[in-house]
Amino acid sequence: MATLETWVGEVASMEASSGRDLKFPGDYALYAEYGQAFTPPASIDDNEARMAEYGVEPGDLKDCHVNSGQVVVFDDATSLWYVEGVAYGSSMIPVEHAWLVTGSGQVVDPTWGQRDAQITESYRLADDVPTDAEPGVEYFGVPFATKAVSASAMDNEVWGMIGYWNPDFYREGIPAKSLARIISTDLTSVSIRDTIQVSGE
C-alpha cells in the first residue's frame, strides 16, 4: 500500500472538498499538517520490552486514548510523549489511534502489541483492529505536549486531543505550545521520511 503519510494526505484532501468552512475541516487535515512518522515496534516482544523499560502497563484494547493519555498525565517520572494519529497493522486497515513515543520517536504502544491486553467482546467482533493484539506496522501522528494533554482532559472531561471538544484546532490550527518537539532518529522500518521534526515549543 502507499505510505501512511500519503494515505493520510488523500483522506485530508477528501475532507477539504466537504464544503466545511474551516481551516482544517477534519481530523485528517490536522494529521496531515502537524503529523510525522514514528518508528514502530518490530514485534510484540519489542513492544513489551519498551513498555517494561518505561514502566508502562498494558491497557484495555480499544481504549487507546485513555491508555496513553493517563501515562503522561499521571506518571510524573515518564519521559514519554502522547501522540494521536493513524496506524495500521499487517491484518488491518489504517485507523485513528493514540500511542506513546520516546524522545527519539520510538513507539511504545500500551494498547496494541502486548500479550496481556484486556480483550473485550466488542474488540473480538470488530473488523478494523488486529485480533492478535499485534503492534502496528506504521504510525503517523501528532505529538502533544504533556501540559496540553492534561489541560484538555481536565477541561473537557474526555481523553484525547483531536475532537469536537477542541473546536479551535479546526478553526485556527493546533497552537505551537500544545505540540511536542520529537526528532525521529531511526526510521529504517518506516518508508515515509528519513528524519522528521514537528515544530513547536
Q: Would you say residue 59 lies in a domain?
A: yes
Which pairs from 74-78 meet CB under 8 Å and 24+ separation? 78/54
The answer to whether residue 17 scores a pLDDT higher than 70 is yes
Q: Would you say residue 183 lies in a domain?
A: no
Q: Would you say residue 51 lies in a domain?
A: yes
Give this prediction's pTM: 0.84
Q: Would you say residue 69 lies in a domain?
A: yes
Residue 125: strand, helix, or coil: helix
- pLDDT value of position 93: 83
The answer to whether residue 57 scores a pLDDT higher than 50 is yes
Q: What domain range includes position 167?
A: 4-178
Mean pLDDT of 138-162: 96
Unique residue bearing C-alpha cell 477541561? 155
Q: How many residues does the chain have?
A: 201
Q: Would you say residue 58 lies in a domain?
A: yes
Per-residue pLDDT tens for 120-145? 444 444 444 444 467 889 999 999 99
Q: Would you say residue 199 lies in a domain?
A: no
Mean pLDDT of 63-89: 93
- pLDDT value of position 61: 80
Residue 65 and residue 73: Cα distance in Å, rounded? 12
Count of domains observed in the chain = 1
Give counts: helices (H), strands (E), the chain.
7, 5
- pLDDT value of position 184: 63
Q: Would you say residue 78 lies in a domain?
A: yes
Nearest to 80 by CA among 57, 114, 113, 112: 57
Q: Would you say residue 194 lies in a domain?
A: no
